Amino acid sequence: MQIIKDKQLIENTWTYHADDSELGNGNITISVARLKQQGSGLTQHNGRLGVRIEPDDDITGVVEYLPALSLIELYFPQMADGRLFSYAWLLRNRHGYTGELRATGNFLPDQAFYLSRVGVNAFNPDNIASLPAMLTGLNDFSVKYQPSVY
Amino acid sequence: MYQYNEIDQKLVDERADQFRRQTERFLSGELTADEFRHLRLRNGLYIQTHAPMLRIAGPYGLLNSKQIRKLAHIARTYDKGYCHFTTRQNIQFNWPKLEQVPDILDELASVQMHAIQTSGNCMRNTTTDHLAGVCVDEIEDPRPYCEIIRQWTTLHPEFDYLPRKFKIAVSGAIHDRAATQLHDIGVHIVKNDAGETGFRILAGGGLGRTPVIGQVIRPFLEKKYLLSYLEAILRIYNLYGRRDNKYKARIKILVKETGVEEFTRQVEAEWQLTKDTLILTDERINEVKQYFTPPPYDADAAQDETFAKHLAENSAFATWYKINTADHKIPGHRAVFLSLKAPDVPPGDMTESQLDAVADLADRYNFGEICVTHRQNLVFAHIKQAELYPLWQALTQLKLATPNINTVTDIICCPGLDFCSLANAGSIGVAREINEVLDDMDYIHDIGELKINMSGCMNGCAHQSVGHIGILGVDKKGVEWYQITLGGSSENDAAIGERLGPSVAKNEIAKAITDILDVYVKQRQEEESFLDMVKRVGIEPFKDKVYANH
């Protein structure tokens, strides 16, 4: 499956592992709860590690693991949960996260520009058909009023 | 007034283009109704009872004659020949066709207007004092700060999907004419002990189902921190505001449930981390202030002698002058209210021909400027006294000179059941009935300042809970009934009105209002306003009269 990363279409190499599933090899993301529970034990994992943040998660618990994380997914259960926009801003600005920050789940191409401005650099929407519109959406505006993360 | 630069224009043009594509995607089935709802609301487009409603931003109420002519053109071309001015200084069209809205947005962009963030759970149009820049009690003109806030809120990447809508109001005067205590954030321009001008910041006010008066969370904020402080409040709200129940999602509930001390602590802690990264420089403030310099007033305006002559000779003009004009900081000038509350017209509505005529009058007498008021009237803020008489004559012809500003027939009224899909009851018809029974202007002027606010449902678009007399339409088994409250205020003495008693039937509401007025006229003390009397005697005497036969 393709995703957008840094304004390019690329193949996705990551899979999300739900809390009740065995951790396979390769690049995986897990829940915040599992990250906190298994903590440093996960560094033995054969592949790269990421976390999936959902709106109800407390992101302060993730901060200590940031150096070990190669991907942070921001998962939209529905498009209107704006907390994820603040999480992105906080991860980039306050916590100095510089790795891949990926929006996943149920969001629209019309939100891509906003997401990119709070530091999201990869997009993996549930609706794969929206990828071309998502690429265009990143350029919906050529001007802005507020300072940007990037 | 503010003029767009290339960036402003480009942003509005690109937004209109974006909405055209969004509309096409919706019409082709690519976007679901729910997805499109989020997008159209952020462009002011509601789906209403009969047709879509489009709400256009009136940035802090200030418009120019070219923009008013464009509204007239839109009313003629895309609507049924009229528009409606709202309590948040915006403009609404009630009959646009969905497919034509992108064209309307293009038309608006051509005169530096838009509908961005006029609805939806995002930061809305910033409102202010309709007498800003001219009133005698002003500490500093709030409009440059409103413009700075307008730009900061527009397409803010982090705060476009808040738990609920978010409204900011700014007041620069001693007398609060912008209902700042009833906004999510209220900003007061104040002077500190050292004589420096800065801001007092209030948070957690709001109307609607649960009216709450905002509380001061910072008594004095240096100007350079205005945006960083707003950002801190918005971030705390975006992170912790409730999203499980839309009726508990406004910031007023967060402040209430968290406690104002703890909420303030959170905001301050957040702000400490960011305050120096988003500095509003003096240079930037001065750059924006240049757009709000006073117009070239006539220094000899007070020398004119015709005004006094007309005043002495024409009692209708004298009455209008007394009721519909306000003091001005420049000698020989007045601020003039254009009443949109003629007895037989839905409150706040204007026809396309009135709009065109008002644009011409603004060019002729008011440096091309028009301001929309919080009470759904218009203001010409710069009228020299010699021109009051010809202006009054022209406004009388246009039915915009009803001498009723701030009186009992200057009713704030929502569109109600006639247009709105949320409404439980009609409001325009009730306003008309009240006007019909109160047809004696001398009686109205004898009653003096009295603000009636009437909403057709709990959402309270007409701010009934802060009306001196509030009227709220409710639905009882498919029949329209009305609850009455007394003693509300949205000004310095902000208060939520107290409920008078059981709701009254539609055919009894006008009688109930006249009963209330009778009690006031009979029991008031000398010079005592209605609101003061309600404060003194409470609601009992009014209650006894209204429910005497029940």
Q: Which residues of A touch B162 (CB under 8 A)?
A: 82
CA distance B111 to B371: 16
Q: With beta carbons under 8 A apart, name residues in chain A contacting B158.
A: 82, 85-86, 89, 114, 118
Confirm or reject contact between B33 and chain A (CB < 8 A). Answer: no
Counted domains in chain A: 1
Residue of B161, B228, B274, B275 to mutate for A, most A C-beta atoms under 10 A = B161
Q: How many Cα atoms occupy the beta-carbon half-sphere of B25 within 13 Å? A: 22
Its pTM stands at 0.96
Token output for B41: 């609301």
Q: Which fold has domain B6-109?
A: Alpha-Beta Plaits (3.30.70)
In sequence order, what are the residues at sequence separation of 6 or more whose Cβ sits closer than 8 angstroms to the Cβ of residue B32?
Answer: none
Task: Report pLDDT digits (tens) over B297-313.
Answer: 999 999 999 999 999 99
pLDDT value at B421 more than 80: no
**pLDDT tier at B427, thresholds 50, 70, 90:** confident
Looking at the complex, does the CB of residue B161 fall below 8 Å from at least one CB of chain A? yes
pLDDT at B550: 66
Give the closest-approach CA distance of B158 to chain A in angstroms: 5
Q: Taking CB atoms and an 8 Å cutoff, what residues of chain B touch A115?
A: 157
**H helix intervals, B332-419:** 352-365, 388-397
What interhelical angle do B226-240 and B143-153 show, nearest 10?
40
pLDDT interval class at B424 (50, 70, 90) = confident
CB contacts, 8 Å: B161 with chain A: 79-82, 85, 111
pLDDT in tens, B51-82: 789 999 999 999 999 999 999 999 999 999 99
- Closest residue by Cα to residue A80 from B220, B258, B162, B137: B162
Residues with Cβ within 8 Å of B135's Cβ and at least 6 positions away in sequence, in order, are: B129, B173, B175, B177, B326, B327, B328, B329, B335
Query: Does B237 lie at the interface with A, CB-CB under 8 angstroms?
Result: no
CB pair distance less than 8 Å for A110 and B39? yes
Q: Which residues pair with A104 in a beta bridge?
A: A75, A124
Find out if CATH 3.40.50.300 is the number for domain B412-546.
Answer: no
Q: Number of H helices and number of E strands within chain A?
A: 4, 8
Domain span including residue A99: 12-17+28-129
What is the C-alpha separation between A70 and A51, in angstroms, rounded? 9
Please indicate whether, in this complex, the C-beta atoms of B11 and A145 are within 8 angstroms of each other.
Answer: yes
pLDDT (mean) for B460-471 = 94
Q: What is the per-residue DSSP string for B468-501?
A: SEEEEEEEETTEEEEEEEES-BSSTT-BPPEE-S
Q: Is the pLDDT of residue B27 over 50?
A: yes
Q: Is the CB of A86 less than 8 angstroms away from the CB of B239?
A: yes
Asked if residue A55 belongs to a domain, the reply is: yes
Residue A136 domain flag: no
CB contact under 8 A, A140 and B18: yes
Average pLDDT score over chain B: 95
Of residues B154, B157, B163, nearest to A114 (C-beta): B157
* Pairing mode of beta strands B479-486, B469-476: antiparallel
pLDDT value of residue B415: 80
ipTM higher than the 0.95 cut: yes
Under DSSP, the state recorded for B50 is S
For residue B134, what pLDDT is reported? 98
Give yes or no for a contact between A140 and A94, defined as CB atoms under 8 angstroms apart. Answer: no
Identify each DSSP E strand in B57-184 by its residue range. Answer: 62-64, 82-85, 91-93, 127-128, 168-171
Closest CA to A93 of B226, B281, B276, B229: B276
Q: Which amino acid is at B53?
A: M
Rg (Cα) of chain A, in Å, rounded? 15
Chain B interface includes A118 (CB < 8 A): yes
Contact B157 A83 (CB under 8 A): no
Q: Does A63 touch chain B (CB under 8 A)?
A: no
Number of H helices, E strands in chain B: 18, 21
pLDDT more than 70, % of chain B: 99
The nearest CA of chain B is from the CA of A145 a distance in Å of 6
Measured CA distances, B532 to B450, B489, B529, B536 (Å): 11, 11, 5, 6
Question: Looking at the domain assignment, is residue A99 inside a domain?
Answer: yes
**pLDDT score of B458:** 87
CATH number for the region B134-290 comes to 3.30.413.10
| pLDDT, position B50 | 67
A70 touches chain B (CB under 8 A): no
Mean pLDDT of B383-395: 98
**Mean pLDDT (whole number) for B383-406:** 98
Pick A118's closest partner by Cβ from B15, B152, B157: B157
Closest CB to A145 among B15, B152, B273? B152
A110 → closest Cβ in B22, B158, B243: B22
Mean pLDDT of B358-371: 98
Q: Which regions of chain A are under pLDDT 50?
A: 150
Give the up-direction half-sphere exposure of residue B289: CA atoms within 13 A in the CB hemisphere. 9
The predicted model gives B470-493 an average pLDDT of 94
CA gap B382, B474 in Å, rounded: 42
**How far is the first Cα of chain A from the last one, in angstroms, to the nearest whole number?**
27
Please give, rounded to a whole number of angstroms, the shortest distance from the CA of B280 to a CA of chain A: 12
CA distance A117 to chain B (A): 6
Q: Which amino acid is at B121?
A: N
Flag whether A37 is in a domain: yes
Look at residue A150 in the predicted model and tell me its pLDDT. Answer: 45
Q: What is the mean pLDDT of residues B8-34?
A: 96
Query: Given B18, B158, B243, which is nearest A118 (Cβ)?
Result: B158
Q: Which chain B residue has the Cα nearest residue A136?
A: B18
d(CA A100, CA A52): 12
Which range is least confidently modeled, A19-33, A112-126, B273-287, B529-543?
A19-33
For the beta carbon of residue A147, count every other beta carbon within 10 angstroms: 9
Would you identify the CATH topology of the domain B301-397?
Sulfite Reductase Hemoprotein; domain 2 (3.90.480)
What is the arithmetic mean of pLDDT over B26-43? 95
Please answer yes or no on whether B11 and A147 come within 8 Å at the CB atom. Answer: no
**Distance of alpha carbon A108 from alpha carbon B1, whole angstroms:** 36
Lowest mean pLDDT among B95-104, B210-219, B427-436, B507-516: B427-436
Any chain A CB within 8 A of the CB of B29? no
Task: Note whether residue A110 is domain-resident.
Answer: yes
Does position B449 have pLDDT exceeding 80, yes or no?
Answer: yes
pLDDT at B407 exceeding the cut of 90: yes
- Average confidence (pLDDT) over B518-537: 96
Does residue A134 fall inside a structural domain?
A: no
* Closest partner CB to A85 (pick from B39, B155, B157): B157
For B35, the closest of A108, A114, A148 (CB atoms) is A108
Residue B14 sits at the chain A interface (C-beta within 8 Å): yes
**Domain layout of chain B by residue ranges:** 6-109, 134-290, 301-397, 412-546
A102 has a chain B CB within 8 A of its CB:
no
Task: Provide the residue count of chain B.
Answer: 550
Instruction: Return all residues near B524 (Cβ < 8 A) that are at least 6 apart.
Output: B530, B533
A114·B160 Cβ contact <8 A? yes
Rounded Cα gap, residues B70 and B389, in angstroms? 28
Could you identify the residue written with the tokens 């009105």? B497
Q: Which of B344, B324, B349, B467 is nearest to B405 (CA)?
A: B324
Q: What is the pLDDT of residues B109-152, one digit of tens each?
A: 999 999 999 999 999 999 999 999 999 999 999 999 999 999 99
Using CA coordinates, name the residue in chain A closest to B279: A147
CATH number at residue A100: 3.20.20.70
Q: Cα dihedral angle (B232, B238, B239, B243), rounded to 10 degrees?
A: 160
pLDDT at B459: 87
What percent of chain B shows pLDDT beyond 90?
A: 90
